[in-house]
Amino acid sequence: MMRLFDKKQLRVLSLISVTIGLRTLGLFMVLPIFTLYGEKFTSSYLLIALALGSYGITMAIFQTPLGRLSDRYGRKLIISAGILTFVIGNIICADPVNIYGLIIGRLIEGAGAVSSAGIALVHESVPVERRNISDAIIGIAIGLSFMMGVIVGPVLIALVNYSFIFIIAAIIGLVSFIPLFMIKEAKKKRMPKIKSKIDSKLAVVSLISFFIYFYMIVFYFYLPIYSLKYFPVDRFYEFLIPTVVVSGIVGLAIARPADKNKTVMFSLVSLIILLISIPMFFLNSKINDLAFFGMGITAFYSGYVISEIVFPTLITRLAPENSYGGNLGFYTSMQHAGVFFGALVTGLLIIKINYDIPIMIIIIASFVFSILLLYFITHFREIYVDRKM
């Protein structure tokens, strides 16, 4: 796979993957223990859910303007500012005083919204027909960060207190500056005006990403609750490692054919797999079967990994070349808006009896709607690059 890129392209891709992977490692480390940490400050699951998902709303707000600023002033400058903001947010979360301080820290964490700038930097450095592969490699870095985070986070609890995990996350954020500084970015041409128009098809793809990330944060909220029926927290790695590895293999297998004019087809495949995983995951609370539970998690991760590979490529095929950052920023803004509203809905419903069933129905409806939206903009036919926009 790496032989598909020349040395310069491979250097940029590798360094950005490490930068994003390190930054997201700090974010993922706290996922398995976040609810327990929130309970130190409040008994309200609504406030805990808001703290969990609050970073999503600031990411949603700042992704598009930061993406556009990276179009104009350069990717590295904007990514550096985002990493620094992430570090400050983690330091606040380490000693928030109360649940509202924890929410503020998470909001500041999310303000460092630079995913679009990082992806745009890679996409500018590789040929258009290799972007699915490059996205797959970045996705693998993020997947490995998640796998390491959910394993390391619970293990660290046996050695240090909850607060110190956020300090470690801040340190990891600082370390992510190192690979970023090693990238030689091409000099950015100043543009007198930044394009702001978002095409309707781009908006629809972004709306689909909203539903995917809505499901993602709900999945992460319930994952520890369901998993505790089978494993203690410090043994979560026993099922997370095989499921993440399988999904990574699926993603790699999909990336090459998706490059060969199959992006739309595999976008549909990802939505169908995610749709199938929804009842498998949520009905586990009624079925109580470990194998069924494992299949549901594997289906979720496989569908999620495929979506992370193919949907950004749809955006760059639809977007004008000199506005990748802005359009990817809008796309990732919708993703993280999904994180916030997913956490909000979960927090509001968790006090209800059988609260997981209404959420399951909401997510199923959203994915059926997403498949209809994908048909509306593509008719399930391939979208080719158009640079006359």
* Per-residue confidence (pLDDT) for residue 2, from 0 to 100: 55
The CATH number that domain 7-183+199-378 falls under is 1.20.1250.20
What's the rounded Cα separation, in Å, for the pair 377 and 389?
17
Residue 190 has pLDDT above 70, yes or no: no
Q: Report the distance separating Cα 235 and Cα 194, nearest Å.
A: 49
Quote the CA–CA distance of 372 and 272 in Å, as a whole number: 12
Average pLDDT of span 58-70: 82
Query: What was the pLDDT predicted at 381?
Result: 85
DSSP-derived 3-state class of residue 1: coil
- Over 60: is that where the pLDDT of 348 sits? yes
How big is the chain, counted in residues?
A: 389
* Residue 236 confidence (pLDDT) above 60: yes
What would the mean pLDDT of 191-200 be, rounded to a whole number? 57
Judge whether 107 and 154 are in contact, CB under 8 Å: no
What span, in angstroms and rounded, lies between the C-alpha atoms of 79 and 95? 25
Mean pLDDT of 250-273: 82
Query: Across the chain, what does the average pLDDT equal?
Result: 82
Handedness of CA 319, 324, 326, 327 (dihedral sign): positive
pLDDT bracket for residue 196 (50, 70, 90): low
In this prediction, residue 191 has a pLDDT band, given cuts at 50, 70 and 90, of very low
Cβ(15)–Cβ(180) below 8 Å: yes
The CA distance from 253 to 259, in Å, is: 11
Q: How confident is the model at residue 136 (pLDDT cuts 50, 70, 90)?
A: low
DSSP string, 327-345: HHHHHHHHHHHHHHHHHHH
Q: Taking residues 355-371, what's their average pLDDT?
A: 93
- Token pair 């209809």 is found at 372
**pLDDT (mean) for 196-202:** 72
- Taking alpha carbons only, the member of 84, 111, 110, 69 closest to residue 325 is 69
CA distance 57 to 75: 22
For residue 133, is it left (φ>0), alpha (ψ between -120 and 50) or beta?
Answer: alpha
The DSSP output letter for 357 is H
pLDDT at 354: 62
Reported pTM: 0.84
- What mean pLDDT comes out for the span 12-26? 87
Question: Can you give 243-302 as a three-state secondary structure string?
Answer: HHHHHHHHHHHHHHHHHCCCHHHHHHHHHHHHHHHHHHHHCHHHHCCHHHHHHHHHHHHH
Mean of the pLDDT values across residues 22-28? 84
- Residue-wise pLDDT for 288-326, tens only, equals 888 888 899 999 989 988 888 788 777 767 766 555 556
pLDDT, position 224: 78
Contact assessment for residue 95 and residue 163, using Cβ atoms and an 8 Å cutoff: yes
User: At 59, is the pLDDT very low, low, confident or very high (cuts 50, 70, 90)?
Assistant: confident
Q: pLDDT grade, residue 372 (50/70/90)? A: very high
Sequence spans of domains, the chain: 7-183+199-378
As a whole number, mean pLDDT of residues 75-88 equals: 91
The predicted structure's pLDDT at residue 283: 87
- Judge residue 67's burial from the number of C-beta atoms within 10 Å of its C-beta, 0-12 exposed, 13-18 middle, 19 or more buried: buried
Q: How confident is the model at residue 356 (pLDDT cuts 50, 70, 90)?
A: confident
Q: Which of these ranges, 13-17, 165-169, 192-196, 335-339, has the smallest mean pLDDT?
A: 192-196
